[in-house]
Structure 1
Amino acid sequence: MNKTVSPILNAVLLACSLAAPAWGAAPTVPATLNDAEELAALPGGGWLALDKRALRLVGADGRERASLPLRGERLDLRPLDGGALAIVIDANAERALPVQIDIKAGTLRALPVLPDTGFGIEAACLYRDAQQLDYVFLVAKDGQAQQWLLGSGGSEHRLVRRLALPSGVETCRVDDAHGTLFAAEEGMGLWAYGADAEGPPARAPVALQAPHGRLTGELTALAVLPGGVAAIDDKGALLTWKRDGKRWHALPARPLGAQQLVALAPASDKLAVRTKQGWQAPALSWKAGSAPPKRLPIVLPRMQTEPVAQLGDAADDPAIWVHPTDPAKSRILGTNKKQGMLVYDLQGRQTQLLAAGRLNNVDLRQDVRFGSERFDLAVATQRDEQAMVLFAIDAQGELREAARLPTGLGDIYGTCLLRTPEGGLDAFVNDKDGRYEHYQITRSGGQFGARLARTFKLASQPEGCVADDRSGLLFVGEEDRGLWVTSARADQPATLKMIMPVGEWLHDDVEGMGIYHGAKRSYLVVSSQGNNSYVVFDAAAPFAVRGAFRVGLDAVNGIDGASETDGLDVTSANLGGPFARGVLVVHDGYKRMPDGAQNYKAVAWDDIARALQLD
């Protein structure tokens, strides 16, 4: 079952997985369970057995301790302190039923049934994520599928997302450590999907039937191995595949005459198969495949904005405007690539829409000076006109379009701003071909203009950039290559120096970035889109990495996590409440719980600082 804690404690506790109960040596399956249609091993040597009449709790000695009458199928479980959480499908009602097992007390307790899916359930399997939240995947015969977050402590089950799996899936299992959903498709073979709801349900083949691969039979049961997966085919052979990076390596099949397959402990190499001679535990001599990805601390969002109006890839980049006298009235600007500029309050409610066309990136600076005039200004890239759109922001956070300034680019993309030491405004805009143009914003005769100051070029596509007004440094991201730094000053050469290439910390694409000015030091935050994380660097040489984190799901308040982040912005201003030390706002590429149009998530800087032990 899921366990919810405060957002601050969550960030600390979830840096590592919670310890699972000890399972000890591989248990021996009692002969009394030879007729069980489905079987699952419990911590301490007990068993859950499912037949046509009941779900039964059986001790290691083979004696029944409790039973739950139902005609069930598709049994799966995860350990809990003192017991386990199981899922079983009530075949008569076509509903998924969670069951809590208390091993010491010897009890089975049916939890609230999941809502009707609207389809007959052919396959079901559990998933426990890095936050130790429990989900169930439910799959229909025609490939319809749903992922549900299981409630706890009286909270309701929540539909997280709908996804499409192949038709004819009758068995599935999830590798929690790798976040991989395995689905066996009738007539085709075995597929690996991403189990994490944040992101697309991309799939990769593990083993396919001819003419697509060498698999020769149908798969009837699955079990997860460390860095791999096992299956029983319709000929009774035990098949195993080892994970090798993004590929799968098949090991020799073992003909055992097997009819059932049971993992004797989660993600271990201990399996049991049932043959005509009863249950046996074949020795695998298994060597684990590729290790799971590094676990990163998880912080929870404190707020999410209302979704944008359009579905698909629409939202992109936020910017934060701080109210001059009442921080609680500050605003979040967000671009909608299909519509224009959106403005939100700190509760996430949309307060304004400016239909300015296909805007991509946005940045802003406050108290910009042009002679005796002062402005708060935002600049966004307009992709149809290859121009910069300049917005003026009044003292109440209301925007109005002030100018459209042409550029020399052919496919304008990202932008960022610099407030110069003199109080003026410089704008950096880039092209997908790698070109950067550096403009000085001007004002004459009551009109805004732009003067090209210098140009430079990256070898491949950029987008995100941020200028540090205090240090005069410009940080630019090259999506597939890494993070660069150069001078932001118009009178200095744009000599680029690589800070960090794509690799251990940054996973392409390198996307949005922002600078947090703390009391003791400044930090650079970069969206590592390829692994849905955010990397924090010192914003001064030698630009040391302070860590990385992910934005997780807040089960209590019903806010999903963030993934495939394009743009972000961060401020250290005291915005009140949870944002007293500032806030990070990130674009969320996949809105879940429920599925919907993209939006923006707000994370308290205090939670990030605690998770990464920052000053």
Structure 2
Amino acid sequence: MQNLIFFQTQWRRAVQASVLAGFALISNFASANPSTQVKQLPDFVKSSLDFRSLANGDWLVLDKKTLRLLSPTGMERANMKVRAKHFDLRENNDHALAVLINSDTQNALPIRIQQGQFQLQTNLPVATAALDASCLFRDQQQLMHLFLIAKSGHAQQWLLEGSQPRLVRNLALPANAKSCEVDDQTETLFVNEEDFGVWAYSAQSESSAARQAVQLRQPHGQLQQGAQAMHVFSSGIAVLDEAGKNIFLSAPIKQGWKITKHFSNKKLAAWPQQTGNLRALELGGKTNFYLRDDNKKTWMHVTSLSRKKETSQEIIPVLIPQAQTEEMQRLGDAADDPAIWRHPVDSQLSRVLGTNKKQGLLVYDLQGKQTQLLEVGRLNNVDVRQQIQWHDGVSDIAIATQRDDLSLVIFDIDSRGTVSEVSRIATGLENIYGTCLYQPNHGGLEAFVNDKDGLVQHWRIERKNGTYQGTKLRQLKLATQPEGCVVDDKNARLFIGEEKRGVWLTNADATQASPLKLIAKVGDRLHADVEGLALYHGKRATYLIVSSQGDNSYIIYDAQAPFRYRGKFRLGFNIEKDIDGSSETDGLEVSSANFGTNYEDGILIVQDGHKRLPDGAQNFKYLDWKQIAKALQLP
């Protein structure tokens, strides 16, 4: 694990002892009906600083010096002596997890709640700088995460699974964050910046730290001074202004956030004179909003809204990578496109080639270990063909686009999987970008190479007396920037990805050219940018795999008309092997060949735009095809 920004690697024994001494376990949890429907906020909750209801009818309430677990009738099941301002809560099938910031130590305290008892999760490192906020997040894999934000704005995302928490990533957030909350459904992290307002970030660890304004102070927004409090509810987020006179409900739109509802103290008689906190609670089929009256030290119900019916959404399965390559030797946006070379005798000795846009070509084995580095300049896309019939022999070849001299770089691959550069072909393009190879049935090799302006060139590659040369056959034109492309050699079909519009199809045979046809359009399923393309040639069908970069997913289509949509998936954490998921994938490659143990039905290689668990340089992830076929029920 890398050096931490504001955490040590172990608990200090003195702190642990003092915290544990504050526990008072009162009684075991008496079984309750999980379907209990609470109709109103009980009187024994109203005097608390903060509260949450549990699915079994219990209540978790925070008083000035104590966190309490109460039964539906108010009987105390457990308590813990602690000073805190608020807490967060998530429930699993057999337990709940609460987290709060201890006001005395400024440490985050994660607390497991099970069978009516509290258990301190003592394996979280101690803070070495004062924490402002903490909040929980359960991702699509149902894995628990914890966000911790220091007063300086330094923040970290931790994975709370297994025997030890693991650092997922570091973030730079606003200094003096008053609080944070996560909407698990939309995977959105909300941060309340003191005296300014509320920002939204993606809680997905694979996403960048870009932010959007939700509600800001005047003149940038509607808030007076800033946000006093906020709370996530089923339809968005509720924000209480610093003056305590308005509640704004906001929901996401394509280009940011919009106010969907506004409540004012001028219109609601129950509004307290001085309020310091806000909670939204689903009670009796309605969303009920409560403000804490700081004068009377009680929670007051101020208004209710009918709950909107939840719209059904496509369930996107999260699959688990089996392996990952060693990290790039360059930071930033370096890794781009992979290709696969299969060993002619022992498939487990096969190789994965990966481009580094800042350095050259990397070669890896099936365990992800780097076997070669060819420092040949800034490579973008790479593709491989094997057993190519030339006039003077047979060979395996890789070709990559070189962005320094705008050429196609030709690499020879010997029978052991050793790669070496043998030639370059100048293309004359101004901004060379993507490429893919075509091995016609009649022999030889052809290449398609594109430019950022939409131009696509078609080349014939020839070898005579060991020397390579290229002949340009034709060119195609797309309206905007393409990159990924792939050719179905058997059927002579060329698929081209136009990043903002979708996937195009045309004939790969220059003698039988056909108009470009848009077969997969950017929209509800396919999200720009459209990046890597690959073909899986199965025993029963051929599938087109597309990197839908805009929503960090991978889409499967039939590779024959009518190009039926088969589903999409994402890559998540492999906890056992400390492998993170993948995101913002540029290039990908797939093969249906048997690569031995774990990859009997083939392998998918994807570029990962953000290396996490912990932060690091980019790399490539390996996924067995069996997972994809099972998740999407492919024949």
Report if TM-score (shorter chain) is over 0.5: yes
Distance 2:197 2:75 in 1: 38
Shift of 1:424: 1.0
Q: What corresponds to 1:211 in structure 2?
A: 219
Distance 2:34 2:431 in 1: 57
Which structure 2 residues correspond to residues 211-610 of structure 1 after superposition, within 5 A?
211-237=219-245, 239-246=247-254, 247-255=257-265, 256-257=271-272, 258-265=275-282, 269-275=287-293, 276=295, 278-286=298-306, 288=308, 294-610=314-630
From 193, 197, 202, give the equivalent of 1:194. Answer: 202
Q: What corresponds to 1:160 in structure 2?
A: 168
Distance 2:231 2:113 in 1: 21
Shift of 1:369: 1.1
**Structure 1's 117 and 23: CA in aligned 2 closer, same or farther, altered over 3 A?**
farther
Residues 271, 281 of structure 1: 8 Å contact kept: yes
Matched, 1:84 2:92: no
**Structure 1's 280 and 43: CA in aligned 2 closer, same or farther, altered over 3 A?**
farther
- For residue 93 of structure 1, what is the amino acid of its counterpart? T
Residues 74, 124 of structure 1: 8 Å contact kept: no
Aligned-CA RMSD value: 2.0
Residues 377, 390 of structure 1: 8 Å contact kept: yes
Distance 2:218 2:348 in 1: 62
Q: Deviations over 1:556-582 (max 9, x none)?
A: 221111100000000011111111100
Residues 392, 465 of structure 2: 8 Å contact kept: no
How many pairs were matched up? 591
Q: What corresponds to 1:149 in structure 2?
A: 159
**Structure 1's 117 and 429: CA in aligned 2 closer, same or farther, altered over 3 A?**
farther
**Structure 1's 393 and 107: CA in aligned 2 closer, same or farther, altered over 3 A?**
same
- For residue 541 of structure 1, what is the amino acid of its counterpart? A
Distance 2:246 2:234 in 1: 16
- For residue 308 of structure 1, what is the amino acid of its counterpart? M
Shift of 1:33: 3.9
* Percent of residue pairs identical: 46
SS at match of 2:303: coil
Shift of 1:292: 8.8
Shift of 1:482: 0.7
Distance 1:291 1:170 in 2: 32
- For residue 292 of structure 2, what is the amino acid of its counterpart? R
Distance 2:128 2:612 in 1: 19
Distance 1:156 1:287 in 2: 39
Shift of 1:544: 0.9
* TM-score normalised according to structure 1 size: 0.92
SS at match of 2:367: coil
Matched, 1:123 2:133: yes
Residues 41, 262 of structure 1: 8 Å contact kept: no
SS at match of 1:477: strand
Which structure 2 residues correspond to residues 66-145 of structure 1 after superposition, within 5 A?
66-102=78-114, 105-145=115-155
Residues 111-120 or 462-471, more deviating: 111-120
**Structure 1's 445 and 506: CA in aligned 2 closer, same or farther, altered over 3 A?**
same
Q: What corresponds to 2:178 in structure 1?
A: 170
Matched, 1:56 2:68: yes
Residues 545, 555 of structure 2: 8 Å contact kept: yes
Distance 1:96 1:244 in 2: 30
- For residue 221 of structure 1, what is the amino acid of its counterpart? A
Distance 2:579 2:161 in 1: 14
- For residue 412 of structure 1, what is the amino acid of its counterpart? I
**Structure 1's 291 and 140: CA in aligned 2 closer, same or farther, altered over 3 A?**
farther
Residues 363, 378 of structure 1: 8 Å contact kept: yes
Structure 1: 5+ residue stretches without partners: 1-20
Q: What corresponds to 2:15 in structure 1?
A: none
Residues 436, 487 of structure 2: 8 Å contact kept: yes
- For residue 140 of structure 2, what is the amino acid of its counterpart? A
Q: What corresponds to 2:58 in structure 1?
A: 46
SS at match of 1:131: coil
- For residue 116 of structure 2, what is the amino acid of its counterpart? G
Residues 424, 441 of structure 1: 8 Å contact kept: yes
- For residue 463 of structure 1, what is the amino acid of its counterpart? E
SS at match of 2:338: strand
Residues 196, 225 of structure 2: 8 Å contact kept: no
Residues 325-334 or 24-33, more deviating: 24-33
Distance 2:397 2:159 in 1: 42
Residues 54, 68 of structure 1: 8 Å contact kept: yes
Shift of 1:221: 2.3
SS at match of 1:269: strand
Distance 1:465 1:317 in 2: 11
Distance 1:85 1:238 in 2: 31
Residues 343, 351 of structure 1: 8 Å contact kept: yes
Residues 243, 290 of structure 1: 8 Å contact kept: no
* TM-score normalised according to structure 2 size: 0.89
Distance 2:620 2:286 in 1: 39
Q: What corresponds to 1:3 in structure 2?
A: none
Residues 505, 516 of structure 2: 8 Å contact kept: yes
Q: What corresponds to 2:14 in structure 1?
A: none
Q: Deviations over 1:182-226 (max 9, x none)?
A: 111112111111111111022111111122122114323221122
SS at match of 1:171: strand
Distance 1:526 1:69 in 2: 53
Distance 1:315 1:217 in 2: 44
Q: Deviations over 1:40-68 (max 9, x none)?
A: 22223322122343321112222211112
Distance 1:268 1:248 in 2: 22
Distance 1:200 1:215 in 2: 27
